[in-house]
Structure 1
Amino acid sequence: MVGGAGPHSTRAAAALLAPTASLVRTVADPETAEMAKLWENTYRAVNIALANELADACHSLGLAPVPVIEAAATKPYGFMPFYPGPGVGGHCIPCDPHYLLWQLGKVRQPAPLVATALAANSGRPARITERALDLLAEHAVPARRARVLLIGVAYKEGVADVRESPALEILAGLAAVGADVAYCDPLVPSLRTASGPLDHVPDPHTRAWDLVVLNTVHAVHDLAWLRAADAPPVLDTRQRGPVAPRPAPAAEVTA
């Protein structure tokens, strides 16, 4: 998306960027280009917050959220599916809406829906941490010294980027109550956390865990061991079913 100060600068910038992108769109000015980016990411932030809220509502009503979303997505127009998860991460969705709110604050334009969605997204990792602690308690495992493995710490699948990743807050929250936390993410060999450095666990199936939290499942993750009869309890934060080929036992829950 390119918007220049005038037609000449717009064309020049588009020509410069053309070799780096499959498509370059031009708009009237830089402000339109910037607002388009903020609109896009704010749209996603609001819908992610809604997906998480409605997923929680589904659980309260005894429904699995993903089949409901997939059923709604059969409508051929007017609906784009968003799925629940542990929160938002990366350098765009958690940040860009705040830029928008700051600018709107300067002109005294309220945006309560956006502000509420951001607060909901910010609180999502704490919700996951609470659910993990509840699940440990359900299995009579004290949080202190509980062995908890997080699958994937990158903010999304297929990348090694941990900027603003919900995993960082989840690990910190569990460590704060004394849990013995670890993670398995082949794309992130080491990680700095609030409680100290951690290294990727390459062979989690060889160790005993009190709880496994599915945070970000990469294509390289082999989760077959979680389908075994003696597998530890699993908390699936994204509810997309990476362990789903087996019937969900009582110990496997979603958040």
Structure 2
Amino acid sequence: MTSTIPHQLAAAPSSAVPPETAAPPELLSPAPPADAEPGLRSVAVVGLGYVGLPTALALHRSGVAVRGVDVSRRRLEAVRGGQVDLLPSDLLDLHAALASDGFSVGDDPTAVAEADAVIICVPTPVDDHLSPDLGPLESACRAVVDWARPGQLLVLTSTTYVGSTHDLLVAPLAARRGLVAGRDLHVAFSPERIDPGVVEHEQGRTPRVVGGTTAECTRRAADLVGRLTSSVHAVSSAEAAEMTKLYENTFRAVVLALANEVAGICRTLDLDAVEVTDAAATKPYGFLAAYPGPGVGGHCIPCDPHYLLWQMRLHRTPTPLIEQAMTSIAHRPHEVVARAVEVLSDQGRGLAGARVLVVGVSYKPGVRDVRETPALEIVRGLEQRGAVVAYHDPLVPELRLPDGRVLASATDAPQEQWDLLLLHTVHPGADLSWVSAHPLVLDATYRFAAAPQRHVV
């Protein structure tokens, strides 16, 4: 296929005879049973973050030996010490796995060569200019190519641009190692679907998409992914699977941008945005509920659509709807700050010198993750306008700000006096009864109706 990234990033094309074409979707529905490939005894999982570690644990539960590989010594120490953000069931599995003979973690890439299958689960962030930061992915794929051997199955799961499986695995395997996908080994893409902190969306209950370089690549990858979930949907190519992931998260970004806009409309009309959304969600078709909030954070929605926008700019293909949605998402924290100014102004005081407490700073309820959290931009915006800002979050003891400063969670916040409480994240089970007694609350979650002096964004 033609490379879809700039020439300086594209892998060298293969001169080998191209393998057979990939399978049509109907060939793998439903997925093969998990024990359909008796030769699969061991799997190497490259990257032990929010995707890789749960994946490694699920594979270990399925009965295969697992070797986790990560370049971060700090992450490895956290994994070995059980100091990681996992669902309670996964945390129990981690302790049991570490005590077993069939599970180990380390930073030695040669573990790739020893495994029957390799799953790549490294982060794919964007840089300060909202362009893809391909460094971690390129590095991981380079190591996998270096240590790949005939007969292996290689599965990329990291969200990335369309064509990356070919450019970062298939082409360099042929050019540098003489290994042709579909003939000497098997290569596929199966986008991760991890929703951290949500038990209802754990891997076993979530369908997965698989697209291979050839029909046999797809079949083998579906067998492996079938150990993680009972539902596997095969598509015609790795590129179709890559685009599927980008479409999923871009769709979510557009809907969330709309939800925030509708919330502003409801405030203007003196309506409850959550009530209206819940009512609309009773329609059994044609509507997907999304709720307003302080902004969009985490590893996916603020980042993934930019991979698609970046690639379409290379093709000179306009994407006005997606661009507007991402602009709206990026601007949302500034709207929260502007609303804080309004709320304080209505009480006869300015933001300068005001003591503001941000309640909850992780990007979503129930997790410790602060990647791309809107709270960072909100704190910075409040401080730039002269406010004295602190935060309280039982799951996040420290918060590193964009300027390098580190704030500590104000554990005694309920006993102190604040000019404004700004609700950013409400964790399940957290005792926020003290918030109801506060005279001025800006509820950016739209979910805390108990405060008598509550305002929404």
Q: What TM-score do you get using the length of structure 1 for normalisation? A: 0.92
Corresponding residue for residue 209 of structure 1: 418
Following superposition, the deviation at residue 22 of structure 1 comes to 4.9
Q: Cα distance 1:214–1:136, how it changes in 2: closer, same or farther (>3 A)?
A: same
Among 10, 14, 17, the alignment partner of 2:225 is: 17
The size of the alignment, in residue pairs, is 248
1:154-176 C-alpha deviation (Å, 9 max, x unpaired): 11111111111101000010111
Q: Say whether the 8 Å CA contact 1:214–1:238 is kept in structure 2.
A: yes
Equivalent-residue separation in structure 1 for 2:218 and 2:410 (angstroms): 49
Identity %: 52
Alignment match, 2:446: 239
d(CA) in 2 for partners of 1:126 and 1:232? 23
Verify: 1:253 aligned to 2:450, yes or no.
no
Equivalent residues in 2 for 1:51-66 (5 A)? 51-66=259-274
Once the two structures are TM-superposed, the CA of residue 226 in structure 1 deviates from its matched residue by 1.7
For residues 62 and 19 of structure 1, the distance between their equivalents in structure 2, rounded to whole angstroms, comes to 50
Counterpart of 1:78, as a letter, is G
Displacement of 1:210: 0.7
Structure richer in helix, relative to its length:
1
Distance 1:60 1:106, change over 3 A: same
* 1:136 CA displacement: 1.7
Secondary structure of 2:258's aligned partner: helix
Distance in 2, matches of 1:24 and 1:72, equals 31
Shift of 1:179: 1.1
Who is 1:29 aligned against?
237
Q: Secondary structure at the match of 1:188?
A: coil
Query: Counterpart in 1 of 2:276?
Result: 68
**Aligned equivalent of 1:187:** 395
CA change 1:188–1:21 in 2 (3 A) is: farther
Letter in 1 for 2:440: P
Q: Which residue of 2 aligns with 1:173?
A: 381
Q: How many angstroms does 1:53 deviate by? A: 0.8
- Output the aligned Cα RMSD: 1.5
Task: Flag the 1:22–1:140 CA change in 2: closer, same or farther, 3 A.
Answer: farther
- Alignment correspondent of 1:132: 340
Which residue does 1:155 correspond to in 2? Answer: 363
Check conservation: 1:190, 1:197, Cα contact below 8 A.
yes
Higher relative contact order (CA 8 A, sep 6+): 1
- Indicate the residue corresponding to 1:117 in structure 2: 325
Write the deviation string for residues 4-30 of structure 1: whole angstroms up to 9, x where unpaired. Answer: 101221222233333334543322111
> Would the aligned equivalents of 2:426 and 2:445 in 1 still touch at CA under 8 Å?
no
What SS class does the counterpart of residue 19 from structure 1 fall into? coil
Equivalent pair of 1:3/1:30 in contact (CA under 8 Å): yes
What per-residue deviation string (whole Å, max 9, x for no partner) do you get for residues 135-156 of structure 1?
1222233322211111111111
> Gaps (5+ residues) in structure 1?
none
**Aligned equivalents of 1:194, 1:10: Cα separation in 2:** 42
How far off is 1:190 after superposition?
A: 0.2
8 Å CA contact 1:125, 1:169 repeated in 2: yes
Within 2, Cα distance between the matches of 1:220 and 1:76? Answer: 30
**2: CA distance, partners of 1:53 / 1:200:** 31
Asked whether the 8 Å contact 1:42–1:93 carries over to 2, the reply is yes
Q: What secondary structure does 2:431 align onto?
A: coil
For residues 48-102 of structure 1, give each alpha carbon's deviation from its aligned partner in whole angstroms, at most 9, with x where no partner exists: 1111111111111222211111111121211111111111111111111111111
Aligned to 1:38: 246
CA distance in 2, matches of 1:89, 1:57: 23
8 Å CA contact 1:184, 1:200 repeated in 2: yes
Helix, strand or coil for the counterpart of 2:291? Answer: coil
CA–CA distance in 1 between the matches of 2:440 and 2:230?
A: 44
Q: 2:306 aligned with 1:98, yes or no?
A: yes
